Amino acid sequence: MELSVNVTENVGYITLVGQLWQNDDLISIYNEIETLLESNVQHIVLNLDRLGFINSAGLGLLARTYARMADYGGKFILLSPHSSVLEVIEVSGFDLFMTIVQTQEELRQVLRQTL
Amino acid sequence: MASGTDTLNKKILKYKARISRIISICKFFRSKYISLANKSRETEKLLEERSKALTESVYRLGRINSELDDEMETAKRIQDGLMPKELPEAVNLRAAAIYIPAGKVGGDLYDIIITPRQKIAILIFDVSGHGIPAALITAMAKMLFANNIEKSDSPAEVFREVNKSLCHFVKTEQYLTAFLGVIDPIKNLMTYSRAGHVPPLVYNTKTSTVTKLDTKGFFIGHSALLNIAEYWDSKVQLAPEDKILFYTDGLTEGCSDEGRMYGTERLRDALMSFGPLDIKLLLDKIVEDQEVFRNGTPLRDDFTLLCVELKDSEYLLKDSGFTREDEPSILLVYSFNDIEKACAIILKELDKCGYGDKTIKQFRICIFEMLTNALIHGNKNDSARQVVVFYKITQVSASISVIDEGDGFDYNNIPDPLSHENRLKDHGRGVFLMRHYFDEVLFNVKGNRVLGRKYHGGK
């Protein structure tokens, strides 16, 4: 898996490419999130439009990050999950409490409401 | 008086003539001496030049010899590198091998390859001749065999393809002999072909008997054989605990001090005597027996011994949820690196049987869940332990069974990941996803085996 990080205003964007299931990848993402929070980023957007596969370990990362951001007082947003990844997210019931947006426009609206 | 003067003059003239002759002789000898002295100097010079040239030649030859030694050493290292360092772990067999060099670079090689269809291919071959040409052909043949074994489980087919390629590339008079056996680990059935190689021997532990795996087949790689060489597959039903001894003819052609060869009969007797021993010890004993027979006579040829012992595959099936009649396929997984490969093999079968894209994606998630659970929670990330995967895909249903070497877990008390108190936990969704996507999920009593089944078109 590849990941890239950038920050715009006080929003941290993490883009995941490939497959999300290996422990080393999960650790890298956790570390990136902590680094972002230390630099006073307010919200985290996880861009999933190029993520092709997720398993229960990847779902665990989403759950843990959601809980971490709730404690932190920021928003955790999933952007453009691929249909097969979205299906697993929905099967696990995450769509009931996590913010999932499909387009940049939807993302801007959500961020406008929170900022 | 006048006559006295005349007489004197005559005498003087006579003496003058003598003196003149003496001077001529002296001049002659002097010229000869000078000529000889010159020739001697020329000879000395020539000798000196020849000696110098000889010294240079000796130096050049020494350098060439040293370069040849270096090249032979490199060839030997290359060939050593071609021998498998560790024989691969196979689900139902153990293997041991021994290589005895005869001082020169030989052309012996053996290999055990798990094929993409999860059959176990056992290969031994012997390239004619020695030295760098043999090492080059050995390297080329190893790659050709590996490539073709990956494509086909028919040894005869593999031999045909390798023969074609070697005949095309090798323009020398060299050739190789080979034996290739492909074992179905569930049925203990070996399909084999022989390309002019010495026939392996099978020791049956229960009956203490030895049989020879003989069949027809031409040598491989000699250009004269391109259009006439043919190879045939034979099958042999092996039994658990059978020991198959593969070897090269350097063993049986080892000579005693009386010039007699060790021979197949003596090898057969040795296998009868040492057959009950552990395979490593068995090989040592055979090598020792040949050494005793040779009684100090040096080996003319290097030789290789490879012994494979079959284990009972019944114990594996016992807990798998499959029966022998189901004829499931089998895969082994030792680490995370093996997951993608195993997954690709199973998904390809699903695709062949017409399962749709959506089901294949869901199956992929389930295979990852089953295998990561088995590796992490079952085998505790210990790559020395194996995860055995049985699967059977038909147009009616697709079943996969995963067995780890752990202590199992309590599958009756898995927390519900959808409940409010568990929804933010970072674990505990693997079995949940399996149960969601499979039509059936069954555990064994111990909890170290999970079987998932999906019916084509729904239950």
Q: Does A90 touch chain B (CB under 8 A)?
A: no
Stretch B379-394: mean pLDDT = 90
pLDDT at B83 over 90: no
Q: According to the model, what pLDDT value does residue B89 have?
A: 62
Statement: A2-114 belongs to CATH 3.30.750.24: yes
Measured in angstroms, the CA of A22 and the nearest CA of chain B are apart by 8
Stretch B247-263: mean pLDDT = 93
Stretch B136-164: mean pLDDT = 93
**What does the mean pLDDT of chain A come to?**
95
Stretch B74-98: mean pLDDT = 76
Q: According to the model, what pLDDT value does residue B307 have?
A: 96
Q: What is the chain A residue with the closest CA to B424?
A: A63
Name the residue facing A56 among B336, B418, B433 (closest C-beta): B433
Q: According to the model, what pLDDT value does residue B4 have?
A: 65
Q: Identify the band that residue A115 occupies on the pLDDT scale cut at 50, 70 and 90.
A: low
Q: According to the model, what pLDDT value does residue B310 have?
A: 87
Q: Give the domain ranges of chain A.
A: 2-114
> For the ranges A7-11, B103-107, B401-405, which has the lowest average pLDDT?
B103-107
Tell whether the torsion through CA atoms of A28, A29, A34 and A39 is positive or negative: positive
Q: According to the model, what pLDDT value does residue B188 have?
A: 86
Q: According to the model, what pLDDT value does residue B24 have?
A: 83
Measured in angstroms, the CA of A82 and the nearest CA of chain B are apart by 12
pLDDT at B162 over 70: yes
Q: For residue B149, give the nearest of B186, B178, B117 by alpha carbon.
A: B117
The domains found in chain B, sorted by start residue, are 82-312 (3.60.40.10), 319-455 (3.30.565.10)
Separation between Cα atoms, residue A16 and residue A39, nearest integer Å = 20
Separation between Cα atoms, residue B380 and residue B172, nearest integer Å = 54
User: pLDDT tens, B30-46?
Assistant: 888 788 878 888 888 88
pLDDT at B85 over 80: no
pLDDT at B93 over 70: yes
pLDDT at B120 over 60: yes
Q: According to the model, what pLDDT value does residue B12 have?
A: 76
Separation between Cα atoms, residue B453 and residue B393, nearest integer Å = 10
Separation between Cα atoms, residue B60 and residue B67, nearest integer Å = 10
Q: How far is CA B126 from CA B27, B34, B219, B249, in A?
A: 78, 69, 10, 8
> Using a CB-CB distance cutoff of 8 angstroms, which residues of chain A are in contact with residue B365?
53, 55, 88
Q: According to the model, what pLDDT value does residue A4 have?
A: 96
pLDDT at A45 over 60: yes
SS3 B295: coil
Per DSSP, helices labelled H in B295-384 are 314-318, 339-352, 357-373
Question: Is there a contact between B365 and A66 if contact means CB atoms under 8 Å apart?
Answer: no
Q: Which is more confident, B73 or B113? A: B113
User: pLDDT tens, B258-276?
Assistant: 899 999 999 999 999 999 9
Q: According to the model, what pLDDT value does residue B60 have?
A: 85
Q: Which is more confident, B16 or B247? A: B247
Stretch B157-175: mean pLDDT = 88
Q: How far is CA B310 from CA B135, B147, B269, B434, in A?
A: 31, 25, 21, 34
Q: According to the model, what pLDDT value does residue B280 have?
A: 94
Q: Identify the band that residue B67 occupies on the pLDDT scale cut at 50, 70 and 90.
A: confident
**What does the mean pLDDT of chain B come to?**
88
Q: According to the model, what pLDDT value does residue B90 have?
A: 66
Q: Do the interacting molecules here have an ipTM over 0.90?
A: yes
Probe site for chain B from A24, A54, A56, A84 (most B CB atoms < 10 A): A56
Q: According to the model, what pLDDT value does residue B211 have?
A: 95
Do B221 and B170 contact (CB within 8 A), yes or no? yes
Stretch A15-41: mean pLDDT = 95
Q: Which is more confident, B103 or B350? A: B350
Stretch B15-24: mean pLDDT = 81
pLDDT at B106 over 70: yes
Please give the full DSSP string across B20-32, using - where no structure is assigned: HHHHHHHHHHHHH
Q: Does B380 touch chain A (CB under 8 A)?
A: no
pLDDT more than 90, % of chain B? 54
Separation between Cα atoms, residue B13 and residue B9, nearest integer Å = 6
Probe site for chain A from B424, B427, B433 (most A CB atoms < 10 A): B424
Q: Does A59 touch chain B (CB under 8 A)?
A: yes
User: pLDDT tens, B279-308?
Assistant: 999 999 999 999 999 999 998 888 999 999
Question: Is there a contact between B429 and A59 if contact means CB atoms under 8 Å apart?
Answer: yes
Q: According to the model, what pLDDT value does residue B91 have?
A: 65
Q: For residue B269, give the nearest of B240, B245, B241, B248 by alpha carbon.
A: B245
Q: Does B205 touch chain A (CB under 8 A)?
A: no
Probe site for chain A from B362, B368, B422 (most A CB atoms < 10 A): B368
